[in-house]
Each structure stands twice: as structure tokens, then as C-alpha cells.
Copies of this chain bind each other. A is one copy, B any other.
């Protein structure tokens, strides 16, 4: 056979003829190794290896292969400015959770991350502390009283906080075709004490969009599409590790079966019925819920150090000869 057997990593391109189940992988890797970007070259080598091994281990049929490719086209075509079906796919396959854990490992006693999901937008209005981010009169009113500190217990002032939730029917604003403006979402800034507080509605459980290919996949797998009730938070300030997280309402029927694997015990919270004094202080009705939560954020440096340490340990355990360049593994050829 003419095709290169894949031994050696010389610079001559392989002769790509007579490729078979046995020699296609080293030859694909070799032709891709013309790539000048060492990181991309490594990522592609692992990608090609895993895709080919998947095909060999499943002996995937031509019909299954074509069904898979058509599934991917459908996922792309149902996606839009306000719907990202591939984030959903990544979510239901556990990949999003894994990527978050790789990139944002948390020291003990800091706020854990959760999945971003496909519903964050960039058009949320910046609101003053105390404002109401929900315009849904059907929701049960809730006031959230929060604080954000660093790992030394020092309040973080002026951190940007993106907050978003569904309306009382379990839909994000972008899921309504007649959406004119953002609702049930806002951006806030913490004050000098690290405090921020806002009015919203008690979150409800809801199914992830299941009218597309991902919904059909879950159905075939015998899985439900539900997420337990939660409120999304994203924290952003230079010098601090970008934190994407959510608070989950205790007692939700889907608390232990989140379709996208986002629940952490440390993120489960229990809203209380508000007392009269607090209701008066925050200007909310006496039948409101109140949720108090303190967030603890790491610095970029703390997270980068922990991520590099865990990466180095994990790669050594995998037996791969790699080094970190710009915090990302590439083959160590020295």
C-alpha cells in the first residue's frame, strides 16, 4: 500500500492513496500536522483519533453515519441569534459541565460554577440596586439580597453581575417570538460593601427547548428535558475569574435529575417567606419570597494556578508527554 504507515513525524507529506480502516488515522494526523499552530495541531490529533476510534469501536453503519451528519445539519439550521442548539447538545452530553470544571476549578469555600446554557444575551439593561428585573405579574415576587467577596473575605466593589431567569411559564424572553425588549434579565453592579439586591420572581422548573433535534435525541434516550428551578448569575471584573453559576431552589422535583447536569449541592438555596420589616425595607409585598446568598469569588491568578496544577497532574496521570503553553497542553518535543 502507498499510504504512509504513520511512523515518524518527518516533514514530508504522506502519500494519500489506498487508505483503509487500519492506516487512515496516522495519515490524517500526518497531513494535519502541516499546521503551524502547535495547539491546534494537538487538538486536531486528539479529535481525529477519537472520531476514528468511535467509528471503529461502533463499526458505525453508513446509514447511522448519514443520520448523524443530518442531525448536525438540523442542529445548525434550528440555531439562530437567540438559539444555540449546539450549546444544548454540549449541555445534555455533559460536555459543558466538564469544560466548566476544567477551566474554572474552585478552591474550597468559594462559589462553584454551573452551566451557562443557551439563554444568556448581551442586551440586558443595567439596573440600579433594588430594581425589579421581572415584568411578569403572574410570577411569585421575590427579593434577592446578595453579597460578593474575595477569598480573603474582602467585599468586591463594582463587579458586573449578569442575572437572568425565565418568566412564570418557564420561558426565557428570547423564546417568545414577539419579544420586543429584554425581560427577566438585567446587569447590576455591586456597591462598596459588595452588596447587590434586586426584585425578581421565584424561579420555576422548565424543559430545555425540546422541539428540535436535541429534544428528539433525549426522547430516544428515555431522558426528560427538565431543569430544576434556578436563577442564573455571571460575574465579571478584571482580575477576577469569570464566574458563571446559578442558584437552584431546594425541593424542586428535578433537583437530582437536571437534564444538563448543572446542580451542585452548594448552589441549592431555600427562599423564605419575607418578614414584614424586610418587606418594608425593600419595598416588596408581604407575600414575597426572600433569598439571601453570599458569593465568594477567586482571582484570575488563583484560578489559573489551580487550573495549571490540576492540568499538570491530570496529564501526567494520562501518560501523555505534554507541556503547558499559555496554560494549554501541547506536545512536549524538547
| Residues of chain A having any CB pair with chain B under 8 Å | 2, 13, 15-21, 24-25, 27-28, 31-32, 34-37, 40-44, 46-48, 50-62, 64-65, 69-70, 72-77, 79, 84-87, 90, 93-104, 220-223, 255-258, 261, 263-265, 311, 314-315, 318, 320, 327-329
Contact = CB atoms under 8 A, between A and B. Distances in A.
B52 A98 contact: yes
A207 to B, nearest CB: 16
A86 B69 contact: yes
7 contacts: A15-B256, A17-B263, A41-B221, A59-B329, A62-B104, A65-B95, A76-B76
B24 A56 contact: no
Contacts of A101: 19-21, 24
Greatest chain B CB density within 10 A among A15, A54, A74 is at: A54
A55 B17 contact: no
Nearest to A79: B73
Contacts of A85: 73
Given A72-B86, A74-B76, A256 B16 contact: yes
B97 A19 contact: yes
B55 A53 contact: no
Nearest to A2: B265
A59 B314 contact: yes
Contact of A24 (B41, B65, B220, B261): B261
A217 to B, nearest CB: 9
Given A27-B94, A55-B102, A62-B103, 19 more contacts: A13-B257, A16-B257, A19-B261, A24-B94, A50-B54, A51-B95, A52-B95, A57-B320, A59-B315, A59-B328, A64-B328, A65-B90, A65-B99, A69-B90, A70-B86, A73-B76, A75-B76, A76-B77, A76-B79
B55 A99 contact: yes
A70 B101 CA distance: 21
A255 to B, nearest CB: 7
B36 A222 contact: yes
A72 B72 contact: yes
Contacts of A261: 16, 19, 24, 27-28
A60 to B, nearest CB: 6
B35 A222 contact: yes
A24 B98 contact: yes
Contacts of A54: 46-47, 50
A24 B97 contact: yes
A309 to B, nearest CB: 12
A18 B265 contact: yes
Contacts of A84: 69, 73
A221 B52 contact: no
A54 B54 CA distance: 12
B223 A32 contact: yes
A324 to B, nearest CB: 8
A257 B4 CA distance: 12
A24 B241 CA distance: 23
Contacts of A315: 57, 59
A70 to B, nearest CB: 8
Nearest to A62: B103
Contacts of A62: 99-100, 103-104
